[in-house]
């Protein structure tokens, strides 16, 4: 069956531009997560959706970051006025429900801000 | 403040031998632990997990051991195979996973022929 998909796979953008990253979770998975992995670091949790709502947005690094999810499926992570420190691999994961500990990851979007 | 620590950035093991990857945590609220395997340019792949009410979980060549009093877990792979060469991440969860997983920085396992 289809796993988690993300697009684009790679994105190079100039400092100050806005970018939008997309995640398609596994069909039927109600919980969706965004993480990022900076060079040499582990995965950093950003935000979690149960259905279309995100109960806690405190993991987002700054107010330039926002995320939404529509129809309980596709999610977009938007970074406004990108900075060089935003360069990282952004990973999306989904799980069956809020109690689904096992999260299944997409291949990630590698973002490079020049 | 790292709540999940993998102190060995890399580990080299001969094919056929046992690989032991270690992980320590500091947050006593963690109640579920997972290991993920990651190849370059791919997302992490779920490998095996363990609940805090258990001290061992086995799945084929992979076994995870949990020592709650020491806040330590380990992943044993036996026998190690060339395809096991990858980066292994330890992750922990509290509150039913609602806050996302907390990951270590990973250990690069290299299986030598």
Q: Phi, psi (5° rounding) for residue B51?
A: -85, 155
Check residue B98 and give its pLDDT: 62
Answer whether A1 touches B (CB < 8 Å).
no
CA distance A77 to A86: 12
**Interface list for B 49-108 with A (CB within 8 A):** 49, 89, 91, 93, 96-106
Report d(CA A90, CA A93) in Å as an integer: 10
Among partner residues A4, A42, A98, which is closest to B98 by beta-carbon distance?
A98
The whole-angstrom separation of Cα B93 and Cα B39 is 23
* B97·A103 Cβ contact <8 A: yes
Nearest CA-CA partner of A104 in A50, A21, A29: A29
The chain B residue lying nearest A32, using CA atoms, is B100
Please check whether residue A103 touches B, CB under 8 A. yes
Which phi and psi angles does A100 have, rounded to 5°? -80, 95
DSSP annotation of A53: B
**Closest chain B residue to A42, measured at CA:** B105
**pLDDT tens string for chain A (114 positions)?**
589 999 999 999 999 999 999 999 999 888 899 999 998 788 999 998 988 888 788 889 999 999 999 888 999 999 999 999 999 999 999 988 655 568 899 999 999 999
Task: Give the span between the Cα atoms of A33 and A108, in whole angstroms.
Answer: 12
Q: Backbone phi, then psi, for B83, in 5-degree steps?
A: -65, -10
């Amino acid at each position: 069956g289809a796993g988690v998909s993300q697009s684009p796979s790679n994105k190079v953008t100039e400092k100050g531009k806005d970018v939008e990253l997309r995640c398609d979770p596994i069909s039927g998975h109600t919980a969706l997560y965004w993480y990022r992995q900076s060079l040499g670091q582990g995965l950093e949790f950003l935000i979690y959706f149960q259905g279309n709502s995100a109960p806690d947005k405190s993991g987002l690094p700054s107010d330039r970051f926002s995320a939404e999810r529509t129809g309980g499926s596709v999610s977009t992570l938007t970074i406004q006025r990108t900075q060089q420190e935003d360069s990282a691999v952004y990973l999306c994961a989904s799980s069956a429900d809020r109690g689904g500990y096992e999260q299944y990851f997409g291949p990630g979007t590698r973002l490079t801000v020049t | 403040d790292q709540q999940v620590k993998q102190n060995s950035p890399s580990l080299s093991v001969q094919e056929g031998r046992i690989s032991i990857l270690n992980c320590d945590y500091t947050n006593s609220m963690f109640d579920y632990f997972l290991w993920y395997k990651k190849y370059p340019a791919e997302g992490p792949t779920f490998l095996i997990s363990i609940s805090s009410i258990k001290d061992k979980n086995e799945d084929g060549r992979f076994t995870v051991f949990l020592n709650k009093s020491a806040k330590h877990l380990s992943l044993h792979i036996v026998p190690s195979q060339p395809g096991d060469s990858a980066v292994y991440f330890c992750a922990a969860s509290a509150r039913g996973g609602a806050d996302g997983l907390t990951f270590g920085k990973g250990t690069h396992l290299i299986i030598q022929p």
